[in-house]
Structure 1
Amino acid sequence: MTDAKQTIFGIHPVEMLLKSPIKIEKILILESLQKNKLDFFKKKASEKKIPLETASNRKILDEICPDDAHQGIIAFIKTEVQYLPLESLKDAKTILILDHITDARNFGAIIRSADLFSVDALIIPEDRSVHINPTVIKASAGTAFFMKIIKVPNLSNAILKLKDWGFWIYGSVGEGGKDIFKTPLSEKTAFVLGSEGKGIAEKILEKCDFKISIPTEGNIDSLNVSVATGIILYDLSIKRRKVQG
């Protein structure tokens, strides 16, 4: 953990924050918030002994969160989401490897899908990648607080480690890969997802055991990375249910 103070905003992210072990310094809430929500947060703050301040003017919250995405509530914390070591994944079953994803909302949406489909962890590079920030947390609906996230200096080396631990690596490409819906998946599976503009770097793609694609029929040949992630993980969940009977 580091001591960088930050704000968490939005109803769902703050609800999830209250369920996490992260210490909340203060909650600022709009007096005109829907009564049931206002009462809920007042009760939770009281139970957890968190200072809660109400604001009569929305502009007070707008100054802290200028893009107006706060939905009438902002929480202040000192600690950031903890990044874990790669070695914590030896016994994992499902991992996402994000190759230089830079859009915070896409990253948050990927985390949300990963949580929904019980992904064990996400791996991101230390450089040229978005990290956990308030926008990511809001886009994840707060699930970023509960997802294992690993930062590594070199994705290629991380993939080699995963292979040593029995993982098969599947690289998601826009076209030219095996049809994901017809491709058997291993018990220990890691999916590589590329950046919004460039896709998976060639040196990373070379480390993948398989290239997979989602068949499409429209006028464009690729999906938004967060949408593609949801489809891939849904397909994985269906295949595993069939195996389990």
Structure 2
Amino acid sequence: MRKLTHDQIALKRAKPENISSVKKLPVYVLLNSIRSSYNVGSIFRTSDGAMIEKLYLCGYTPHPPINGDHSGNKEVLKTALGATESVKWEYVKDPKEVIKKMKADGIKVCALELTDKSFPYYELKKDIFPICLVVGNEISGVSQEILDMCDYSIEIPQYGIKQSLNVAVAYGIAIFEMRKIFDLNV
């Protein structure tokens, strides 16, 4: 076993000029009121790694600068390491607008949240695609108002004392499971 160099790794990666032709994972992700710009940047990087369809930043979720407006959060850019250029994204203040649009387009909406009806993330089936995954606030999670609009919810079983994971870590687990399900059933 020999570690690959950055040049060797780059040979296997999509190029920025070809990003529009890369087969995307048919998953839209809605981040609602994430507090930490570092979590948002990390989610951008993970979204690039899984090559999702689109990321929606909602509520008070920090976002990169928009069209020359430099009021966006520079920490998002720093942590994202360029993924804001390879992942389609949009800031929409009201998450309900995004959910209504998804449903109008026939896309099921799934919360990443512990609920009385949630099931383990690894039990998702291939017929879920396309899907919109809703990820909530680091402390309060996905609000009941948003949960009421979701078709179902998935959870990551917890075995320790804390009963929760960092939001960016939880997202990474869920999105790569979705990538695996999609890739195995294409």
> CA–CA distance in 1 between the matches of 2:62 and 2:90?
13
What secondary structure does 1:93 align onto?
strand
- Which residue number in structure 1 is paired with residue 75 of structure 2? 135
RMSD between superposed Cα atoms in Å: 2.1
- Which residue number in structure 1 is paired with residue 53 of structure 2? 120
CA contact (8 A) 1:174 1:222 kept: no
Shift of 1:20: 7.2
Instruction: Point out the structure with max Rg over C-alpha.
Output: 1
> CA–CA distance in 2 between the matches of 1:129 and 1:240?
28
Which one-letter code corresponds to 2:133 in the other structure? Answer: F
What secondary structure does 1:120 align onto?
strand
Which one-letter code corresponds to 2:34 in the other structure? Answer: I
User: Which stretches of structure 1, 4 residues or more, deviate above 4 A after TM superposition?
Assistant: none
Shift of 1:147: 1.7
Name the % identity. Answer: 26
RCO greater where, 1 or 2, for CA within 8 Å and sep 6 or more? 2
- Which residue number in structure 2 is paired with residue 46 of structure 1? none
Structure 1 unaligned blocks of 5 or more: 1-18, 22-90
- Which residue number in structure 1 is paired with residue 153 of structure 2? 211
Among 103, 107, 113, the residue aligned to 1:173: 113
> CA–CA distance in 1 between the matches of 2:163 and 2:29?
22
CA contact (8 A) 1:175 1:221 kept: no
> CA–CA distance in 2 between the matches of 1:175 and 1:160?
21
What secondary structure does 1:238 align onto?
helix
* Structure 1 pair 163–221 and aligned structure 2 pair: CA distance change class (3 A): same
What secondary structure does 1:208 align onto?
coil
What secondary structure does 2:52 align onto?
coil
- Which residue number in structure 2 is paired with residue 144 of structure 1? 84
> CA–CA distance in 1 between the matches of 2:99 and 2:86?
23
Which one-letter code corresponds to 2:78 in the other structure? Answer: K
Which segment is superposed worse, 91-100 or 207-216? 91-100
Shift of 1:216: 2.0
Deviations 1:51-108 (A, max 9, x none): xxxxxxxxxxxxxxxxxxxxxxxxxxxxxxxxxxxxxxxx982111001012000000
Which one-letter code corresponds to 1:119 in the other structure? Answer: I
Shift of 1:164: 1.1
